[in-house]
Amino acid sequence: MDQEFLIRKMEKYADRKGIPIMEKDGITFLTEFIKLNNVKNILEIGSAIGYSAINMALTSSDVCVTTIERDKDRYIEAVKNIKEFNLEDRITLILADALAFNTDEEFDLIFIDAAKSQYIKFFEKFSKNLKQKGFIVTDNINFHGLTYSDKTKMSRNLRQLITKLERYINFLKDNEKFKTRFFEIGDGVAISRRRKKKDLIRLIKSLQRQCFLLTG
């Protein structure tokens, strides 16, 4: 069956069931990024129905994806979709809570697209599995344009979620080990990479100047 037809089929299913998947321009950006940076081994946090994992695997015949999903129904649907694309040999689907999952494997790219309130924990836990020159990509940074917006009319649960997402954005901006670029694509995408030595030296000097100003 035609791959484009199967992709559209997944998109329609997700829309009908209210299952969040990456926006079209976001997934196009991600797959092009994978091609341009010769990414071969990917860890995905949050499979949903397998939409992103399948799109990433389709970028090249030598791309392999390990993807983790904790919702059993979505996991079952992802298994079906991966089989339809004949990608069982290149997509490893794991039914588990990502925070309880451990691996010693290293990856070229880690894609975070699961529970937004746990983004900092995901980043801190799995960054140790990132290759030295690898990338951590995070989706839904803007969360439908709600980050850094007026929270007075939000429900309590939504307000708490947005606050945690904003905390994650600040965590990325202030991170001493990783440098992050933010892209206004799809629902907002962040790409993080370990700081180069010159970036660390520049950061240390900046912190030293700040300390001097505070104590001087």
pTM confidence score: 0.89
Q: Is 183 exposed, middle or buried (0-12, 13-18, 19+ CB in 10 A)?
A: middle
Q: Is the dihedral of CA 124, 53, 114, 136 positive or negative?
A: positive
**Confidence band (pLDDT; 50, 70, 90) for 208?**
low
- The confidence score (pLDDT) of residue 194 equals 96
- CA dist list (Å): 100 to 93, 118, 122, 145, 197: 15, 13, 11, 31, 32
- The confidence score (pLDDT) of residue 215 equals 45
Q: What is the mean pLDDT of the chain?
A: 92
Name the CA dihedral angle for 189, 195, 201, 207, rounded to a multiple of 10 degrees: 40
CA angle 115-82-104, nearest 5°?
60
Q: Token pair for residue 149? A: 């917006």
Is residue 17's pLDDT more than 70?
A: yes
CATH class, 3-215 region: alpha beta
- The confidence score (pLDDT) of residue 202 equals 62
Task: List, for residues 72-111, the tens digit of each pLDDT value.
Answer: 999 999 999 999 999 999 999 999 999 999 999 999 999 9
Task: List, for residues 159-174, the tens digit of each pLDDT value.
Answer: 899 999 999 999 999 9
Is residue 135's pLDDT more than 50?
A: yes
- The confidence score (pLDDT) of residue 206 equals 60
Residue pair 11/55 in contact by the 8 Å Cβ criterion: no
Token match 């070229």: residue? 108
Task: List, for residues 28-56, the tens digit of each pLDDT value.
Answer: 999 999 999 999 999 999 999 999 999 99
- The confidence score (pLDDT) of residue 109 equals 98
- The confidence score (pLDDT) of residue 177 equals 95
- CA dist list (Å): 157 to 64, 130, 162, 164, 167: 36, 32, 9, 11, 15
- The confidence score (pLDDT) of residue 149 equals 83
- The confidence score (pLDDT) of residue 151 equals 82
Average pLDDT over residues 121-144: 96
Extents of the domains making up the chain: 3-215
- The confidence score (pLDDT) of residue 216 equals 46
